[in-house]
């Protein structure tokens, strides 16, 4: 009954956190999508931690589905990659995608084991 409310509340805070991280990162790295990289890597670790922690279903809805669903972003990652490819910034896009996928999987694994 409260599931949609938990997801909505978590989503609000996740979206706000993503916005703040993205703004902070854009000032420090205007030529590289550092904000998206940070939220996706941090989100990978935190979601892994949540999965390993044995958290209650309500916490999984609030933090996992709501907060992490709004905090992390798959579509922005893809669009930023396309933009770098259009600008022929091949090395940058390879580093971006490799860091996102390789480090993201490793951080999810690490988070899971830290949470256990």
Token pair in block for residue 113: 């084991």
Taking each helix axis from N to C terminus, what angle separates 75-86 and 34-53, rounded to the nearest 10 degrees?
A: 150
Residues in the chain: 116
Alpha-carbon span 48 to 94, nearest angstrom: 24
Does 10 show up as a binding residue in the annotation? Answer: no
Among 50, 54, 52, residue whose Cα is nearest residue 62: 50
Are 50 and 114 in contact by the 8 Å Cβ rule? The answer is: no
Does 72 show up as a binding residue in the annotation? Answer: yes
Maximum Cα–Cα distance across the chain: 50
Binding site residue list: 69, 72
Binding site residue list for Na(+): 69, 72
């Amino acid at each position: 009954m409260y599931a949609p409310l938990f997801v909505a509340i978590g989503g609000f805070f996740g979206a706000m956190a993503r916005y703040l991280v993205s703004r902070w990162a854009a000032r420090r790295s205007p030529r590289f999508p550092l904000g998206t990289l940070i939220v996706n890597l941090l989100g990978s670790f935190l979601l892994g931690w949540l999965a390993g922690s044995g958290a209650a279903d309500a916490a999984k809805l609030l933090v996992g589905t709501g907060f992490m669903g709004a905090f992390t972003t798959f579509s922005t990652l893809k669009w930023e990659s396309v933009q770098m490819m259009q600008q022929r910034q091949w090395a940058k896009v390879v580093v971006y995608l490799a860091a996102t996928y390789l480090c993201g999987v490793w951080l999810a694994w690490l988070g899971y084991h830290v949470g256990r």
